Structure 1
Amino acid sequence: MHRNFAFLTRNFQVIIRRSYARSQIRVRFAPSPTGYLHLGGLRTALYNYLFARSKNGCFILRIEDTDQTRVVPGAMEQLHSDLMWAGIIPDEDPIRGGPVGPYVQSKRLDLYKEHVEILLKNGSAYRCFCSETRLKLLRNTAVKESQTPKYDNRCRHFSDEEVKDRLKRGQTYCIRFKLTPTPDPFKDLIYGDITYNVSVNEGDPVIFKTDGFPTYHFANVVDDHLMEISHVLRGVEWQMSTPKHLLLYKAFGWTPPQYGHLPLILNSNGTKLSKRQDDIRVDYYRKDGILPLPLLNYITLAGSGFVRDKGLSHCYSYQELIKSFDINKINVNSSRLDPIKLMEFNQLEISNLVSNKENHKFLVERITKLVKEAFSDRALDDSLNLNPDHIIATLKWAQHRITKLSDLVKSDLKFLWVKPNAGKDLKYLEAVDVLSKKLEGLERDHFCKESLLTHLKEFSNNNNVPFADLMKTLRSLLSGLKEGPGVAEMMEILGRDTTLNRLKRNVT
């Protein structure tokens, strides 16, 4: 559900026209289909999307599935669904396609094989014949000696004749990239100059595995170049891999994109987000009744990068997020999530949606579905009040009382939708019959809480009916509940016709 459906429709149409035209600014979100989309991934996708939109650029979704052992069936489709739900709509992706596809790495194997041959021929890469047993021994030895495990580059020094001999004998091999010293810093768009001499701290990395698939580092660089990616915005956990990627660009003779790394998002208590948390998944929030824009505002509030001239209590629209995004405003410090703000944003968005008549049809459909699911035992008879006017009136009444649409079907608000079956043994039913006839003369414009309360008190005094007993009887007739909103307020939200129908239905 989105605040401005017209904006999203226009946005989608522009994307279709633009998706096959190259633009100077091209960014990508490249998740692995190994599970669900979490808040960190959503933030990365959003910042790339906003950067592209603010620069009239192109936003690409690419699926990086080179590690086939970890691929989860259906994960790619769920990732795409979560992004579309959030309003982060790619210009090019595996489903819609585009000019530089395929956009799934497992479908680009011929391209990778072609490019790894380039590195083998120019001497930037070599075949490694080391067995897993030897590599495990290297790791164990390093751990025992309190050293960082890394490959010792043994196969880098094999002669051409030795390589040919091993190939002739049918030995399996992977392909490694030759690291060289990187004493000079690279410019991080967010963190500034970063120095990390990868050749000192790491052994030559595998760029092509024995199974014929490239590793992340190699495929990532090849794809970014072939897809003409101009800027890479990704999590700070990839920052130390950037010198390795820059060396690959240098080996190919390519111009690298500009890199910017996003700081961590932390839980409200300062701990790192964990995949074991339910509330890290985007689909958790979808199912829990959180709307897209509040969730985006929630993570942008924690992640900086915005000029919030309207304060922290304003739920920014898509247009406002695009306009206010500034990569130079992203700070390097980790930021904490604030769950309280999420609920505030969700409440604000409900009010924004209700205030726009263009959204009413969608809201009616959403509430109708919620009510039928919550009270499925009454969905087949005529006891559910799902009149569209009643639904919108209820939303207007409840917009500042609820934080999620699902709050409308909680037990204390069941009376809004379900016609009660009040008992016939209630006191003062005859008095209520008289009262309902008097209320018939009350115009709809005066059927409001204040006016109704005055009439109820007057009726109580003039007919010698204890006010508390009258309220108890009316509450039972109108809702079948012992607790809930005040009777006058209940009558106001139910409306004149529903109130009178329920009173007459239960006193006749």
Structure 2
Amino acid sequence: MRLRIAPSPTGMLHLGNLYSIIVNAIFCSKYNSKLILRIEDTDSQRNKFNVIEGIYNVLDKIKINVDESPKRLGLYGPYKQSERLHIYKFYINKLLKVGGAFYCRCSFKRVNILKKINLTLGEYPTYDGKCLNCKYSTGKIRLKVPRIGVYIGNYKTKWSNVDMQVLWNNSKPTFHFANVIDDQLMKISHVIRGRDWLPSLPKQVLINNYLGFKTPKYYHIPLICDKNNLKLSKRFNDIDFNGLISLGIVSEAILRYLISIVVDDDVNNISEAAFSFNLGRLKQQSIQIDQKRLIVINGICLSEFICDINGFLNSLIQERNINRVIVLCTKKSLILHDIYKLMCFIFWNYKMVKMIYMSSIEYLLLNMLLVEYKKQTDWSEFNLKKLHEKLSRYLGLNIRTFCTILTIVIGGRNNISLYDAYVIIGQASVITRISLILEKWYHQSNQHI
């Protein structure tokens, strides 16, 4: 048996991604299966160049071993979709030849309006097939879907409710097409993924049938949700793996917590979890993060690994920065105790942040920065200063006041330089801290209304 995990480099892995990865890893451990890592990087507009290495780092920290990957080549590579375009071109032409797809010249604006009208009328948001019989030879390529009958499988639905998905646009495949081709050519036998992919199942089965492929066995598992019961997402304010690390949660605790959700028992590792694992017995309802349980498990892990505090420091800040931190803190210190006080920017505690009197301009600034920080591809002092100067002019603030407001992110004014601290703790930590500050301010404001 062969399974795959297929993250896209559009953002760092969050708990929902890791939950799915761990279920796959436990399955592979139980049934002695192969686990393949595939990087789905065809979405060039949203890809972030530094995320791929971050994915490897996270998998390493939570001790997920893969049998094949872009770094560990096997028989069925390449393992990055951006390196497989020639393969997709062959199969999209084959799909057109067998009549499983058609060219469409409808604008996305027309289709979006059409789908909004469908939703307003209480119908499924599907394309109306305007170009289905037009015999065009250029344009987007859409999947041909039957308009009568019922798809019967893990997701029973009328074919008329299944969208004629775009499979090819701007000389590139979309996820729905590339995913099917890769699973087939990489000999993937079982696909374990979140329940949010169920509506895509009929489309993917249809592509397999058109091309004469054997369809993998699909299993759809519960989603990890936030406190509002919304699916976690890499694109918004949810805390990713590195964000949790920056708050003092060790990687071992994250691993154990997620394993405990999968097998409904407290076990130490994936091998132990495999003994009691049963895919059919996974909870069916969505799973909310139990912060208190995660903290308790974290305390247990800290007591077990207390001798490896240096290793934890290395997970909070890159190893090459440790000496730099000591030098920067020493320069601002008169006695030894001061050095440790100045290192508090690393061990930031949002519970100590007081924001009852945060002004509207401060709130606006932090919201704007959260958006802009997420866009940054080069997290350097030069780029950060340039961004801050631009926003300070826009808000009518002098740069000193601007930076003073931001000291809340590094634990106060009695600290090392804001920019030194920002670069040392890293982009993910800063984004996580600002997200938590805004959330805390929002709840405090509502309590005082």
TM normalised by structure 2 equals 0.66
1:324 is displaced (CA, Å) by: 3.4
2:263 to 301, 306, 326: 306
Counterpart for residue 498 of structure 1: none
Alpha-carbon contact 1:235-1:262 (below 8 Å) kept:
yes
Pairing 1:200–2:160 present: yes
The change in CA–CA distance for 1:89 and 1:380 in structure 2 (over 3 A counts) is farther
Query: For 1:259, what is the secondary structure of its paired residue?
Result: strand
Query: For 2:131, what is the secondary structure of its paired residue?
Result: helix
| Aligned ranges 1:172-211 → 2 under 5 Å | 172-180=138-146, 183-187=150-154, 194-197=155-158, 199-209=159-169, 211=170
Cα-to-partner distance string for 1:217-239 (whole Å, 9 max, x where unaligned): 11110000001111111111001
The change in CA–CA distance for 1:352 and 1:322 in structure 2 (over 3 A counts) is farther
Cα-to-partner distance string for 1:3-24 (whole Å, 9 max, x where unaligned): xxxxxxxxxxxxxxxxxxxxxx
The change in CA–CA distance for 1:285 and 1:203 in structure 2 (over 3 A counts) is closer
1:137 is displaced (CA, Å) by: 5.3
CA distance in 1, matches of 2:243, 2:17: 14
The farther-off stretch of 251-260 and 124-133 is: 124-133
CA distance in 2, matches of 1:346, 1:82: 17
Q: Which runs of 5+ in 2 are unaligned?
A: 338-345, 353-449
Counterpart for residue 18 of structure 2: 42
Pairing 1:126–2:99 present: no
Pairing 1:346–2:298 present: yes
Quick one: which amino acid aligns to residue 218 of structure 1? Answer: F
Counterpart for residue 256 of structure 2: 297
Alpha-carbon contact 1:372-1:379 (below 8 Å) kept:
no
Counterpart for residue 268 of structure 2: 316
| Aligned ranges 1:101-500 → 2 under 5 Å | 101-132=77-108, 134-136=110-112, 138-139=114-115, 141-142=117-118, 145=121, 147-158=123-134, 163=135, 167=137, 172-180=138-146, 183-187=150-154, 194-197=155-158, 199-209=159-169, 211-268=170-227, 270=229, 272-273=231-232, 280-301=239-260, 303=261, 305-306=262-263, 308=265, 312=266, 316-354=268-306, 373=325, 377-378=329-330
Quick one: which amino acid aligns to residue 80 of structure 2? Answer: V
Query: For 1:234, what is the secondary structure of its paired residue?
Result: strand
Query: For 1:41, what is the secondary structure of its paired residue?
Result: helix
Quick one: which amino acid aligns to residue 183 of structure 1? Answer: V
Query: For 2:132, what is the secondary structure of its paired residue?
Result: helix
CA distance in 1, matches of 2:214, 2:225: 34
The change in CA–CA distance for 1:93 and 1:129 in structure 2 (over 3 A counts) is same
1:173 is displaced (CA, Å) by: 0.8
Quick one: which amino acid aligns to residue 18 of structure 2? Answer: L
The change in CA–CA distance for 1:376 and 1:275 in structure 2 (over 3 A counts) is same
TM normalised by structure 1 equals 0.59
1:65 is displaced (CA, Å) by: 2.0
CA distance in 1, matches of 2:128, 2:242: 44
The change in CA–CA distance for 1:143 and 1:243 in structure 2 (over 3 A counts) is closer
Alpha-carbon contact 1:26-1:59 (below 8 Å) kept:
yes
CA distance in 2, matches of 1:343, 1:133: 47
The farther-off stretch of 214-223 and 178-187 is: 178-187
1:36 is displaced (CA, Å) by: 1.4
Alpha-carbon contact 2:30-2:275 (below 8 Å) kept:
yes
Higher relative contact order, chain-length normalized (CA < 8 Å, sep 6+):
2
Alpha-carbon contact 2:259-2:269 (below 8 Å) kept:
no
Q: Which runs of 5+ in 1 are unaligned?
A: 1-24, 188-193, 386-404, 412-508
Cα-to-partner distance string for 1:162-212 (whole Å, 9 max, x where unaligned): x3xx54xxxx4121221135625324xxxxxx3122x21134222111x11
Alpha-carbon contact 1:27-1:232 (below 8 Å) kept:
yes
The farther-off stretch of 129-138 and 77-86 is: 129-138
| Number of aligned residues | 338
CA distance in 1, matches of 2:229, 2:50: 32
Query: For 2:28, what is the secondary structure of its paired residue?
Result: helix
Pairing 1:71–2:47 present: yes
Counterpart for residue 9 of structure 2: 33
Counterpart for residue 373 of structure 2: none
Quick one: which amino acid aligns to residue 229 of structure 1? Answer: I
Query: For 1:68, what is the secondary structure of its paired residue?
Result: coil
The change in CA–CA distance for 1:278 and 1:85 in structure 2 (over 3 A counts) is farther
Query: What is the identity percentage for the equivalent residue pairs of Structure 1 and Structure 2?
Result: 33
The change in CA–CA distance for 1:112 and 1:321 in structure 2 (over 3 A counts) is same
The farther-off stretch of 218-227 and 278-287 is: 278-287
The change in CA–CA distance for 1:323 and 1:379 in structure 2 (over 3 A counts) is farther
